[in-house]
Amino acid sequence: MNSFKFLVAAYVATWLIHTFYIGTLFSRYRRLRQSLKELGKRK
Amino acid sequence: MKKLFLILAGLTALFLAYATYLALKVAPTDALQGDVYRIIYYHVPSAWTAFLLFFINFIASVQYLARTKASLQKAVQWVVIAIGVIGVIATFLPQVQALLPTGMRPSAVATTVLAIPAFYFLLGWKFPGDRMDMLALTAAEVGVVFCTIVLVTGPIWARPVWGIWWAPGDIRLTSTLVLWLIYVSYLVLRRFSNSAQTQIIAAALAVFGALDVPLVYFSIWFFRTQHPQPVIGGGGSMDPRMLHTLLISWMAFLCFAFLVCWSRFRLELLKREAEQAEAMESLVGAGTAAKASVPLSRSAR
């Protein structure tokens, strides 16, 4: 059974999903930090 | 705190690498499926982690709803204690044991039942006030990520083994998809609703949504499905090296999920701080504008 490509696909897909989610967390964190900084400057 | 997080992240990365090494190199090849069965070491731990996170979301949502009234909080506490005590006693009664599916251990059921009061009081103690709602949101979001992995890796595994990507109408597959949709709806509600009642409505949705978790889990015990029957605790047999690798993988994914939840929780804390700061600023701005308008109105008189 030539199933090795399916195994690789499943493992790669798992880490792609995790990486994408962690990436969104980072970008949300950066945006929040930026808006907090702007709020601090306005004060 | 940041240093501790980085140390834990490094250790978790090593643990995940070790689990992947075990999954690909140490665990023996399956006689029927060949190497593709190794997807189990990502698919099953992801499913178990998603179930655990949805369970945490359920407990946090019940806690959050109970906190809306002091009398309700007391009543829910007693109900939770009663579930724990009666549930554990009941699982050891022969009449109840006869109702359990073949292969399901009463001790496993008792442990699961005991987890309800244990988590309820532990989370209630650790997450006071609004932090309970933040925990519910965090658990749901990270749970959806893990559930997405289950729904993606499942069809990739099914294609070479069953010859099809998806079995329409299969209760395990359909109930898992419904579970994912319920929690996606929960997140959409949290994201786009601006009502003051959003948190309460979302908590109520989460309580009902959590009812799908036992349906997903027990569907392969009670119904005939395309999905394989349980090999752990279900009377099936598994090579000890495979079982060892599966448990190590789950531990590694649990550590990873814990770190992701930690980051998401801190993000939510920061977001609410920013919202508070913004609200304060607009309040101060409104106050200054009101002060400035007083002499104006006086002069107008």
More confident residue, B289 or A40: A40
Q: Give the pLDDT score at A28.
A: 94
B289-301 burial: b if 16+ Cβ within 10 Å, else e: eeeeeeeeeeeee
Q: Is there a domain that residue B88 lies in?
A: yes
Determine how many CB atoms are found less than 10 A away from the CB of residue B280.
12
More confident residue, B102 or B77: B77
Q: Is there a domain that residue B161 lies in?
A: yes
Q: How far apart are CA B208 and CA B216, in angstroms?
A: 14
Binary contact (A18, B152; C-beta < 8 A): no
Residue B88's Cβ-count burial label (10 Å; 0-12, 13-18, 19+) is middle
SS3 content of chain A, % helix, strand, coil (to 5): 90, 0, 10
Q: Give the pLDDT score at B298.
A: 47
Indicate the range of A16-25, B96-105, B190-199 predicted with least confidence: B96-105
pLDDT band for B297, please (50, 70, 90 cuts). very low
Q: Give the pLDDT score at B16.
A: 96
| Complex ipTM over 0.90 | yes
User: Which residues in chain B are closer than 8 Å to A3, comparing Cβ atoms?
Assistant: 33-36, 160-161
Q: How far apart are CA B46 and CA B29, in angstroms?
A: 21
Q: Is there a domain that residue B293 lies in?
A: no
- Residue range B129-143, pLDDT digits in tens: 889 999 999 999 999
Q: Which residue of B has its CA nearest to A1?
A: B34
Range of the domain at B115: 37-238
Q: Does B301 score more than 60 pLDDT?
A: no
Q: Is there a domain that residue B271 lies in?
A: no
Q: Is there a domain that residue B278 lies in?
A: no
The alpha carbon of residue B87 is apart from the nearest alpha carbon of chain A, in Å, by 36
Which residue in B165, B177, B149 sits closest to B39, CA to CA?
B149
Tokens for B70? 């002091």
Contact B267, A32 (CB under 8 A): yes
User: Which residues in chain B are closer than 8 Å to A34, comparing Cβ atoms?
Assistant: none
Q: How far apart are CA B172 and CA B162, in angstroms?
A: 15
Q: Give the pLDDT score at B227.
A: 76
Contact B261, B126 (CB under 8 A): no
Q: Does B65 score more than 50 pLDDT?
A: yes
Q: How far apart are CA B197 and CA B190, in angstroms?
A: 10
- Residue range A32-41, pLDDT digits in tens: 988 888 888 7
State the pTM of this model.
0.89
Residue B149's Cβ-count burial label (10 Å; 0-12, 13-18, 19+) is buried
Q: Is there a domain that residue B179 lies in?
A: yes
Indicate the range of B119-123, B144-148, B249-253 predicted with least confidence: B119-123
Provide residues of A within 8 Å CB-CB of chain B.
Answer: 1, 3-4, 6-7, 9-11, 13-14, 17-18, 21-22, 25, 28-29, 32-33, 35-36, 39, 42-43
Tokens for B171? 């209760």
Contact B23, B244 (CB under 8 A): no
Q: Report how many Cβ contacts below 8 Å link chain A to chain B.
A: 79
| Three-state DSSP state, B30 | strand
Binary contact (B149, A3; C-beta < 8 A): no
Q: Does B46 score more than 60 pLDDT?
A: yes
pLDDT, average across residues B269-290: 81
Q: Give the pLDDT score at B224.
A: 74
Q: Give the pLDDT score at B295.
A: 54
Q: How many domains does chain B contain in total?
A: 1
What is the DSSP track for B111-147? HHHHHHHHHHHHHHHHS-TTHHHHHHHHHHHHHHHHH
More confident residue, B291 or B48: B48
pLDDT band for B63, please (50, 70, 90 cuts). very high
In B223-239, where does DSSP find H-type helix?
none
Tokens for B98? 């006869």
Q: Give the pLDDT score at B299.
A: 43
Q: Is there a domain that residue B74 lies in?
A: yes
Q: Is there a domain that residue B292 lies in?
A: no
